[in-house]
Homo-oligomer: A and B are copies of this chain.
Amino acid sequence: MGTRHRGEIEEINALNAFIKLQRASESVSSRVHAVLPAGLTITQFGVLEALLHIGPLCQGELAEKLLRSGGNLTLVVDNLEKAGYVARERDPADRRFVVVKLTDKGSKFIGEIFPRVVANVTREMNVLSSTELFDLCRLCKKIGVRH
């Protein structure tokens, strides 16, 4: 091992950390997903949650917040609309925009689910101490930013 170049070690450490990051994210996410009612996907949950806490949003904003493509959001909102959880409305001021808002049914639904997801996330993440959580936030923030 003494013959390894500096660059090789850097590469190995970077790859290693990258893989661990991906695995941690995927495995926590899948365990959190497990608590969602059958038929409600993570992205659908993300849309409902954003509408609950921010209020009505247009699809472009939803796509940006959820890191998804516009075309994807069209379909996800379609499915939420079919299920009766959200309603679409053309913005009369600028008819290109479609404003998505929670229906009463959707509001009640996400209002019941959200606390359970929070409890689950809390259980998953509190394997770390609050100092460790803070460190994780800092590191994630640093690598998450485009550079």
Contacts and interface: CB of A to CB of B under 8 A. Distances in A.
Interface of A: 10-11, 13-18, 20-32, 67, 118-119, 121-122, 124-128, 130, 132-137, 139-147
Nearest to A141: B20
Contacts of A135: 135, 139
When A and B form their complex, which 10 residue pairs have the shortest distance between CB atoms, in order from nearest?
Answer: A25-B25, A24-B140, A14-B125, A24-B144, A20-B140, A14-B122, A17-B133, A18-B121, A136-B139, A11-B122
A32 B13 contact: no
Given A27-B146, A146-B27, A17 B125 contact: yes
Contacts of A23: 67, 140, 144
